[in-house]
Every structure is written in structure tokens, then in C-alpha cells.
Amino acid sequence: MKRRDIVLAVAGAAWLLSASRAPAAAPKTVWLDELDVKLSACGWNSTNSRRSVDNNPLRLRGKTYPRGIGTHPPGMFRIQLDGSAVAFKAAVGIDDEVGNRGTAEFIVTGDGKKLWSSGVLKGGGEVRNCEVNLAGVKVLDLVVDTTPDGFGHDHTDWVDARIEYAGAKPAAARLKGAARPYNHRWPPAEQAYHIASMPDPSDRDELDAVLRRTGVLLEHLKTLKGCGDLSARAKALGELKTRAAAVDASQEEAREKLLAEACALRRKIAFANPLLDFDKIVFIKRHFCPDSEMTGNHMCDQFFGFNAIRGGGLFVLENAFSDKPSVRDVLENSPCTNGRFEGKKLTSDGGFLAPELSFDGKQLLFAWTEIAEKESDRLRYRQWTEHNTYKIFRVNVDGSDLTQLTDGAWNDFDPCYLPNGRVIFISERRGGYGRCHGRPVPSFTLHSMNLDGSDIVCLSPHETNEWQPSVDHDGMVIYTRWDYVDRGFNQAHHPWITTPDGRDARAIHGNFATNQSDRPHFEISIRAVPNSHKYIATAACHHGQAYGSIVLIDPNVGDDDKMGPVKRLTPDQLFPESECATHRDPANYASPHPLSEHFFLCVYDPNSRSNAGTSNNYGIYLVDAFGNKELLYRDEKISCLDPIPLRPRPVPPSIPHMIAVGRPAAPGERVVPADPQDVPAVGTVGVVNVYDSLYPFPDGVKITHLRLIQLLPKTTPHANNPRIGFGDQKSARMVLGTVPVEADGSAYFEMPVARPIYFQALDGDGLAVQSMRSATYVHPGERLTCRGCHESRTSAAPPAGAMPSAWMRSASKITPDVEGSRPFSFPILVQPVLEKNCRPCHQNSRKEGKNPPDLSREGFNTDGKKKRDNWFASYESLRPHAFFWNNAVFDHVPRTTPGKFGARASKLLDMIQKGHHGLKLSKDDLHRITLWLDCNSDFYGSYENLDQQREGQVVWPRME
């Protein structure tokens, strides 16, 4: 007999002995599937009652079971007992829906002690019976765990599972205080903002860690201005440490009691923080979106109104740091005063998002959606209407004067008060779609409006997505941008900074990383830290929601494309998608609101799963950099989000408004929006010195011009439909033309407004030497200044000298380039060159029985069928010789090395320059070829009317 079998036999004998002494009355039975399975932890999808984890009938070894639950490791179901339960009985195994795949171990624990284990079970293998004595047990944990081969296909079933009990009926319990099981690891200690938040070798258990971190907290509080006398609590802490040191770690019950005392003392010390000079907290309640990206589990889709889950509201937590906090529903008695909802209340039948408090602490902005369509309709049609998108509202903190500010079939959200009296927010009104999605995902970017909702202007014509603007201490707007220009879709969604009128947007850090595993994947919910130049943010993920780990960003630290400017405030939570799995692993923190570099409010769920949907339950916590957390409030039915101290705060300086639209009102003035006829169509750009570059230019190269290339917003909703060229998921573009660069490297030129544009530095032959992998833009009347060409952000400016020579003259106008470059068109730009210079020779070679590349205009065929993209055969033939940035997650550096891209890096130009079969191109023909190579070797220049483009017709883009 194996040792495990002996243990099980002894356990069974013990249960029989206990049963023989039980009362004669038959015990009652509660089936496991009758309990609230939503409270369980499930490593994939969600636990189902009387169904498998993939929502099929429960089947083991060909037998269907009507009772039981289907779940997935790593997972746990906790059941609260009163000590009078008799037994737990079940059969366990891997569900037939995965065939012979999957392995898992089933474990039963009582009050933290293992009572039974199935050992490793395999798909298609045996069904194992479980019968466990529960005498005296108060907390029953049913655990399913992964094995070394991973968690794939581990569809685990507890069938015929029931608890026999004699006292109070067992109830499912939320997994408070204990993280759901998953393969946890800690990051390098040097990445933590404070070392106390990391594990310490001296920690024998949680009690030691709590006492150690509480001591660090207490000592830090003593250094804060306004801190009261903590001597009594310091004495109590010292005595508790002495008592804990005398109790061996093996004495679990005694140490559990000491842990409860330590936590109570920690709470008293934490609440003695002089930074807690407020007692009310504004927040919303909002469900975590379900697992599928289609239904909101994505960095973009979570902000679509039809993906909101009904429920929640706008609330104030009062007496937040007392023993008896209370919650006030701000909108409980608040009918709307205007618009479509006049006379109606905004109820929990809709969904809430993004609260923002005014500087004087008297007014709130937030977004709300009706979610008018049925759930089946929204999944089926995914249509944007005025009834299923977010609208922005304003209300006084006391619930009065509820006012609708925006309306329409766009999502408007993330409002933020500006010091100049306007409101900056995120909206889909700019137009366009994302480029990597298999579903419609509109772009949304920065906009602004008056406080009454009038004079809405687009501040950012960026062609992808932006999120969550806030104002820093200098009056600048800090926000998140997804930068996706000729680079991988997963490489850059990090902090940017701009003026309140949208000028001079620039990345702060993280825009050029080559590896997602050594830094945050997506930084969002960025706010300035009081009395500091640093920012707090959530390190979240691309393929998930705005939850994850909390980090501190220091913009004064040089960006090493890794963790240089970033420190971890919560190292217990790894970075989603960077360090732990998306759509599976925890994402425990969100929406931090800083009180200092060491303290912040946020929401937290120690048991979260990024695929758990509404079973996630985030509460409001006070958290510090030392690893301590104090729960302030939790609603067991719905998550909380965006806690904000309800108090006035300093108004940052108001940066002068320097563009011709969106002008803020002077005191007592009502601004009339600018007449479009009076708005300038151009702004100006001044470059100090193009040679001021992060990477040196090739020796001897002289830059004579800048080429301006406009990126076109995608007007078709699905990825690669159409495929613009060889590069995967790339934007259509058009060449606006060139402007001169003076001998000192300076340039000064006009640029059309409200268009995302990137620059290329050209040599005397018109070849691009350097190219941006991002985009910029100007507003009406704006004067944009660039110091150099991809210069280091933290490098010192050169000593003041002579005025750049280009700045001494009027702004250059753009000189258009050749036909076929605007709009871009391979059939117009390149094919005529091939027809004139190359194709006749290739045709003659074919007559001689040779097989040269086909350079004809015919549609490229494979097995007699036209390829999906239906490019010319000539275009496809040139692929091996062309240059193009392909889509990449993280397989190349998203910076351009001068002289090593475009035509200069292509095999085609090298072939031509070496005299391919005596070929000599005219200057104009050679320019057409090199221009094509410098522009990612694209085929189409617009997303529509592909047949006309192939025929060589000029097709202007539908949106610019």
C-alpha cells in the first residue's frame, strides 16, 4: 500500500470513528452547486454551477452528472462553516470536454490544514472519490491546482459534491485576506520604491511581515509635519513584537490571534497619518468587464458604453477613516436639468465611468451610459448609438444641478477640469479606427469644451487612442497615448504631456522599449503626486482593463527604455501581460490617487483575476509604499473605482492659450466659438538643428530638406482590410512634400493643421536619412518648436548662440512632390517606371525561356486565384528587394538608425546603383523608386475604392 493510500485510510477511519459518535439525527445536506459559485476563484473563464467551466454538461469518463460545479485551476472555493459540519463528499476529475488533455490536483483543506488530496489526475483518466471529515472545521477550502505542465485544458469538475451538516447552513465565503492561488514571484528588490514592501528573510509568516512593515510605517509618520503623539502606539507595537518573537511559527493558532492584534494596531497607526486631512471620498461603483475583449476586456473596449455592465453609481464615502463609514448616493434625488434626460435620473440601469472633482471640491464631472440595447443585441451588432455610448455630465457634490454636457453617437469620457475653466476629455469624435483589431474599435483622443458643454474642439488628431488626462502641478496635461507609427502594436502606450490647448505633445518615457517583459506594458490613470515632481500610475496591459500594479514615475530620470524612471509601489502585483498572463492572472490594483510619494488611495482586490468579470470585487483601500493596506470600504455586490479625496486642492497655473480655437473665457465672459472661416489652415514649425540627434548621422551626410508625410486615420474597421502594403497593420499615408533645411541644420515652415504628420530628413539626393516613428501636429495659429531630430529628452540644450538662420526668414511653404505621392499610389508612382525601364527586358527574357520576376500590372495570382490584397504582380515581385517596417510585438527597436532604413537600406536601390543589367534610370524615375522605398514601400494610399486605385485613378482619402 502506498503512503498516500495509508494516509487516506487513516483519515477515513477517523471519520468513521467521529461518525459513530455523532447524534442519531440524520445530518442535513447542502449541495455545492447551490452555493454562490461567483465567489470562487477560477483560473480561466469562471466557475459554473451544474455545468463545466466551458458551459457544457458535467461529464467524467462518459457519465453525465446533474449536480456539481465546473472550474479551472488555479482556483479555490471557500465555504464558511460553524464547526458543526459532518462531512464533505464528492467525486473529482478532468471533464470529458478536453478529451485526454489536462492535468490537475484537487485539494481539500480545513482551517488552513490539508485534509485530502487527489494527487495528479489526467484528462480521460480515473474519477476519484473524496470523503472528508469536517468535525470542528470552520473554513473549508476546495482547491484545484495546476501541475508542472501548466494550466492548459485543466477543466476540473467537483461532481455530486455536497456538505453534510448539523448546525448552521454552510455558505460560500469571499476569499478575504488571502490571494487566490497562482504562481507568484517577486520582482528585483531594486525596482521597489521602498524595500519594506518586498519580502524579508526574517519574515516567518504574515505576522512577522505585518509587524515589520507597521514599524516602518510608524517611523515614517513621525517625520511628517502635523503628526500627533505616537508614543503609546509605538509602545504597543514594541510589546506586540516581543510577544510575537516568543511564539514559534509552528503555533499557527496563537500566531493567528497575534496577527489579528497586529492588524488592528496597524490600522490605528495608519489612520494617524496627518495626510488624512479629509474624511470623505468620492468614487464610483462599476463592474469589471467580462473576459472577452469583445465585451470589454481590452484597453480600448472597456470604454465603450455598450460594454458597461448595468449597476453602480456615483457615491461619497463619509467618515471614511472611522469604525462606521457610510455611503451617500450623490444622484439618488437628482433629476437631470437639461438635454435628452431632462427630468430623469441617471440610475444603476446604466453604467458609470470616470469621476473628476473640481479644484474647489464642490462639483463633479463623470460619464454615464444608458446601455439601452439588450446584451444579446450589443454582442451581435456592436453598433454605436446615442443610447449606448458614454455622455459627460456635471453635478454638484450635494447632488444638485445635474447637467448633461455631451450627447451623440460617440463615447465621451475621462473629463478633467482645466485651470483655465475649460474641460479636457477623451472622445471618439476625431474619427477613425484602430489598425490591429478583428472588430470595430474607434480611435479616441483628447478634446476640450467649455464647462457648459459648448465649443467642443479636437485637441489631438492622433490616429490611434489616448486616455485619462489629468493636470500636473505646472498646469500641463499628462495623459496616456498609444504610439503605433511604423512599429509593433504592443510597444508603446505610456505617458505623454501637452499643454491644455493641445500644443507640443511629447512622450515622457517608455516610447521606444524593445521588450515588454522588463517594464510596464501600459501606463494609465496617471496623476501628479502632491509636493513632488513625480507621477503615480497603474501598470496595466494592452489585452485587458486598466487594472494591475501601482508604479511611481520620475520624469527627471533618463529613459533607458526599461525601468529607469519607474519604481514599483506594489511589487506584490506583477505587471500584467509583461510579467504575468493576460486573461488569467491577477490585476489587483487600479485608479490610484496619490497623497504623497508614500501614500495613496486606490481600489484593490486581493483575489482578482483578469478574466473573472463581475466576480472581481474591488474595494477602496489606503495603501502605502511599505506594503501596508487598509480596507476603507467594499460593496460585496459590485466593485468600486476611482477614489478621490473630497476636499479643495490648489489650482495649478494656467498656461496661456496660444491657438485660434477653444479659447477659454475670461471672468464673466461668454466665449463665442471661432468662425471656421477665420481659423488659419496652417501652423508653423521651427527646427533648431536637425543634426542634434540621439543617434549620429552618417559621416559626411548633409541634410538639405525635410519631407512631411501625413498618416491617414483608418476608415475601415477591421485589421488589414485593406492591407496597405507589405507592412502588417500599417496606416495609409501621403507625402505632403518637402521644405528646405539651412546649412546650420535649421528649418522653419508652414504645416497644415489637425493632421498627424511625421518628418524625414533628406540628403542632397532626396534620400531619407532619418525618419520619425511617431507623429506630431499643429493647431490653428500654433508655432511648434523642435530642438533637433530625435534628440535625447533629458539632454541639456546647447548654449545660446546665433538665431537659427531659417528663423530669420518667413516660413517656407511645402513644395509638393511627384504625382502618385499625394495621395500615395504604387500604380501611379512606381508602375510607370517599371513599364518604361524594366518590364520590356523582363518580357524578352521570358520569350527566351527564362523566368525573371513578373513586373506586370496583372493581379498577383496563387494557384490561379487572386490573392486577398490583389496587388500587382510587379509589386509582389519587388517584396524581397523593398524596405518596409512590418508589424512586430517586440522584435525590433522602434527607433530609426540614421542611414539604415528606407531606400538606403533596400536591396533594390543597391541593385540599381550597381547597374542592374546596364539599367540607367532618369533622375525623376530614380526619385520615384526611392520615394516609394522611403514610404514603407506601400501599394495603396487610401482605405477605400481599391479597384479605382489599382486602375491608376486618384482616390483621395475619406478622412484626413
DSSP bridge pairs for 638: 635
> Does 493 share its domain with 616?
yes
Task: State the DSSP string of 261-329.
Answer: HHHHHHHHHHTT-TT----EEEEEE-PPP-SSGGGT-STTGGGSGGGPPS--EEEEEESTTSSS-EEEE
* Domain assignment present for 846: yes
Backbone torsions φ then ψ of 273, nearest 5 degrees: -65, 125
Contacts of 493 (CB under 8 A, 6+ apart): 299, 480, 481, 482, 483, 521, 522, 523, 524, 542
Residue 451: count other Cβ atoms within 10 Å of its Cβ: 19
**Residue 138: left (phi > 0), alpha (psi -120 to 50), or beta?**
alpha
* Domain assignment present for 657: no
pLDDT for 220 equals 98
DSSP bridge pairs for 367: 353, 392
> Does 346 share its domain with 373?
yes
* Domain assignment present for 162: yes
pLDDT for 181 equals 40
Q: How far is CA 606 from CA 176, 266, 471, 620, 779, in A?
A: 7, 18, 30, 12, 45
The C-alpha angle with vertex 303 and arms to 298 and 308, in degrees rounded to 5, equals 95
Ranges in the chain, pLDDT < 70: 1-25, 148-151, 174-184, 373-381, 790-799, 860-868, 887-893
Number of domains observed in the structure of the chain:
5
* Domain assignment present for 652: no
Q: How far apart are CA 837 and CA 557, in angstroms?
A: 54
Alpha helices in 597-725 (DSSP H): none
Return the CATH number at 692: 2.60.40
Range of the domain at 225: 205-270
Judge contact between 99 and 171, C-beta under 8 A.
no
Helix H, strand E, coil C: the string for 870-937 is: CCEHHHHHCHHHCCCCCCCCCCCCCCCCCCCCHHHHCHHHHHHHCCHHHCCCCHHHHHHHHHHHHCCC
Give the pairing type, strands 466-471 and 599-604.
Answer: unpaired
HSE-up (13 A, CA, CB side) for residue 456: 18
Helix 252-270 / helix 231-245 crossing angle, nearest 10 deg:
170
Q: How far is CA 402 from CA 267, 338, 344, 441, in A?
A: 37, 8, 10, 30
pLDDT for 22 equals 39
Boundary-marking domain end, from 598, 618, 645: 645
Judge contact between 918 and 838, C-beta under 8 A.
no
* Domain assignment present for 379: yes
The C-alpha angle with vertex 348 and arms to 345 and 354, in degrees rounded to 5, equals 90
* Domain assignment present for 179: no
> Does 337 share its domain with 386?
yes
pLDDT digits (tens, 9 = 90+) for 257-281: 999 999 999 999 999 999 999 999 9
> Does 428 share its domain with 568?
yes
pLDDT digits (tens, 9 = 90+) for 337-382: 999 999 999 999 999 999 999 999 999 999 999 987 655 554 545 7
pLDDT for 178 equals 41
> Does 396 share its domain with 515?
yes
Contacts of 485 (CB under 8 A, 6+ apart): 711, 731, 758, 772, 773, 774, 775
* Domain assignment present for 308: yes
Give the pairing type, strands 412-417 and 423-427.
Answer: antiparallel
Identity at 577, one-letter amino acid code: E
Judge contact between 421 and 664, C-beta under 8 A.
yes
> Does 626 share its domain with 586?
yes
Residues listed for the chain = 960
Boundary-marking domain end, from 618, 645, 672: 645
> Does 515 share its domain with 428?
yes
Contacts of 20 (CB under 8 A, 6+ apart): none
Nearest to 566 by CA among 613, 513, 505: 513
Judge contact between 657 and 634, C-beta under 8 A.
no
**Residue 136: left (phi > 0), alpha (psi -120 to 50), or beta?**
left
Judge contact between 164 and 89, C-beta under 8 A.
yes
> Does 153 share its domain with 250?
no
Boundary-marking domain end, from 270, 288, 303: 270
Return the CATH number at 608: 2.120.10.30
Return the CATH number at 64: 2.60.120.1060
Judge contact between 528 and 535, C-beta under 8 A.
yes
* Domain assignment present for 10: yes
Judge contact between 472 and 535, C-beta under 8 A.
yes
N- to C-terminal Cα separation, the chain: 77
> Does 540 share its domain with 582?
yes
> Does 126 share its domain with 49?
yes
Q: Which residue has the cell 507589405?
A: 726
> Does 142 share its domain with 36?
yes
Task: State the DSSP string of 560-625.
Answer: -SSSTTEEES-TTSPPBTTTB-TTTS---EEEEEESSSSEEEEEE-TT--TT-GGG---EEEEEET
> Does 848 share its domain with 727?
no
Q: How far is CA 746 from CA 506, 751, 802, 871, in A?
A: 20, 16, 11, 40
